[in-house]
Structure 1
């Protein structure tokens, strides 16, 4: 497979975000969007081993911000094709597991370099397929680059574990520890980070020496295909990543229950995650291992604000956390819990900031774009109607009317997508559904607490435990919050979204998942098994 320069000599550095306030960057992004539009409606095959298979049945990926635009028609696997992909993965694994760790890592480094060269093109494809604006799509692509480079470095580190953390040597023996791959796994990424999480989950598994069946989210299969294609271009052998879009009920359950599946890596909703957990826990006939489950599920995340906080900073963080990518993040801060002395002031600041958010087509780089599909649109609007009973409506409250761009006279430039106003409710009780259930949309519930300790108790009163934020200038309170706020990722005096690879290992407590800590030093251990070796001298 050749070799490439070793990029491990210096410290890991996160990929910088693009500054779209600069004219040249905006122009470059606009050009990338034009290129992406030139391939609208293209057909994409399954990728099974070295085969490219076009099927009669397709998943039709539609631009959620302009429903007349078909982003791509993606071939759809059935159980027969899923089984063929499993056999290709099993064959690919037998070769790939013998490739030295540094060579496997080199593929990821090359993929990161290619992705960096085509950063705007991948972001533009995401913008059309998922409804992200420039900054959200750019951050998604940057995170994908980070995952590729970070996990490549991590695999090299694990391969040198006997040098950096040698075992105690028993008398008369030479001992070592090797991290070996598990086998064939099923990777099921979400639609909301269709490149970053897809790349992170997949690359972690393959750099560890495993082969995978990649079943992308049905809402965003095109960007996942582009990633699989990129990995092949970077030097990944056939059969290591097998791209098999399809129905969760048909092929997802089939592959999860398959006796040759060694692990399942999933990111998505609590309900689907628990379903996968039940299937994976049941040993199939001829299955000789306990399947490993890596699951990152939902969140009902929140920001706690006390009376000593910087109120302007807190309000800005609440709005950014609640409405970034239309609130369609497992880390989204859909709750704000504010102490009584500053409650009204925070609510007023949040409403003022929310009303400044422009709703519109992502290619026009509006702050708020569409939600992903009709099912999400209807579910979120139903929660908004519920919110009118459970709280006091302060902003938004329904669908957003988005028309043509200023000066446009063409019907093609209209926005007929799934747009919803960023919505704020106040005076929401801690036990209300709006405070307890994951909405996954642009809806914020604000609740009142008598003091900061009660606010933390209200924050903790949920079945989830993914991200949280505490705003205060009191060091004693901050220290107590660090101990008592129960979540996998806790931030102080900043928003509760925007985890960076390497800086904020990501994963949650309770029903938010297995706390897998993506982007952290423990993550690759989930895709390997440790083999202790002792050789008598």
Structure 2
């Protein structure tokens, strides 16, 4: 096993790469609008609930129609994951890591196709989509290697007359709740970290981006991951969101999203509940408010470029986006003039058109918050 190396980004200035991306967009366009079932254990389930994913560049275009979970089906998924955990936790760590390496290789082979799904479902431009998928592959490769490192017994400080070692053990069922803005990378990262360490997963993708999660679950199935290790359970947060978190067999929650929902999950995990046998754990990422500081010794052109790229890449829909520029007073006017000129050069339009630097925001609510 070689050392970890980041997955390279695709150079779309190369004609062959542009052609492959155009072909992938055409292929995926022909697959838009299909229905997707829930996947719990080895079952594919349909319900009366529907979640419709649309293309934010063209809101009338349906990306996919997803059967949504009821509270009863969320409970069923957690029970199935809990039963599967009893066998999955006994699978050797190197075997679990192998599933990640297989999944990463399958994603690498289908990189352009996965890029295309991101373009259509969340309005990522070609480079933004490509970076999202590359990071997803990185998570598979990195976490697989980390499992190989951390899986064996770990040495401790030797004490004469004692034999001591540290062994990491899995926890149980995890509810994985990723966001729509990095629907591949964060979803893949949280899901693979959970199951490679011997846990089982109930995956609730964002209602704005369930298709890319469904494609990843397809890849896990193709990689041979046993049924019930990762369960695909999309559902409307407003209707069944609490069900994933409050079940007494949910051992931990991995969440990326709003502060409001993150704090709600934190409150749930802190309160004792009937039937709960442990202190539940939560991994919560709730955004940021990032600043770039520009002083009077800075290269002003470089600072302007950095602020513009950070603030407007993927329409600013990142927790890492520059949302504040703090500029020393005596260069403020010049900085603002240069920034205004730079921003006016940004091209805006449908994400599938590579000439556009900015695509759409994710949905009508996001658009209204800007207006």
Same fold (TM over 0.5): yes
Contact 2:32 2:64 in 1 (8 A): yes
> Which residue pairs with 1:353 in the alignment?
342
Matched, 1:362 2:351: yes
- Quote the Cα distance in structure 2 between the aligned partners of 1:232 and 1:170: 46
Contact 1:259 1:283 in 2 (8 A): no
Q: 3-state SS of the aligned residue for 2:335?
A: helix
Matched, 1:148 2:140: yes
CA shift at 1:175, angstroms? 1.5
Matches for 1:121-140 after TM superposition, within 5 Å: 121-140=113-132
- Quote the Cα distance in structure 2 between the aligned partners of 1:197 and 1:224: 10
- Quote the Cα distance in structure 2 between the aligned partners of 1:160 and 1:81: 36
Contact 1:144 1:199 in 2 (8 A): yes
CA shift at 1:360, angstroms? 0.4
> Which residue pairs with 1:107 in the alignment?
99
Structure (1 or 2) with the larger CA radius of gyration: 1
Structure 2, unaligned runs of 5 or more: none
> Which residue pairs with 1:488 in the alignment?
none
Matches for 1:481-500 after TM superposition, within 5 Å: none
> Which residue pairs with 1:118 in the alignment?
110
Contact 1:322 1:333 in 2 (8 A): yes
Among candidates 253, 264, 289, match of residue 242 of structure 2: 253
> Which residue pairs with 1:376 in the alignment?
366
Matched, 1:218 2:207: yes
Matches for 1:274-423 after TM superposition, within 5 Å: 274-365=263-354, 366-381=356-371
- Quote the Cα distance in structure 2 between the aligned partners of 1:15 and 1:49: 31
Q: Deviations over 1:234-262 (max 9, x none)?
A: 12111010110002233221121111111
Please give the root-mean-square deviation of Cα atoms over the aligned residues, in Å. Answer: 1.0
- Quote the Cα distance in structure 2 between the aligned partners of 1:31 and 1:152: 31
Contact 2:85 2:198 in 1 (8 A): yes
Q: Deviations over 1:462-513 (max 9, x none)?
A: xxxxxxxxxxxxxxxxxxxxxxxxxxxxxxxxxxxxxxxxxxxxxxxxxxxx
Q: 3-state SS of the aligned residue for 2:213?
A: helix
Aligned length: 370
CA shift at 1:205, angstroms? 0.4
CA shift at 1:161, angstroms? 5.2
> Structure 1 length as normaliser, TM-score?
0.68
Q: 3-state SS of the aligned residue for 1:259?
A: coil
Q: Deviations over 1:171-228 (max 9, x none)?
A: 3332111000110010000000010100000000000100010000000001111111
Q: 3-state SS of the aligned residue for 1:330?
A: coil
Q: Deviations over 1:277-316 (max 9, x none)?
A: 1112112201011111101111111100001111111100
> Which residue pairs with 2:28 in the alignment?
36
Specify which structure has the higher proportion of helix.
2
Among candidates 141, 146, 149, match of residue 157 of structure 1: 149
- Quote the Cα distance in structure 2 between the aligned partners of 1:251 and 1:279: 14
> Structure 2 length as normaliser, TM-score?
0.98
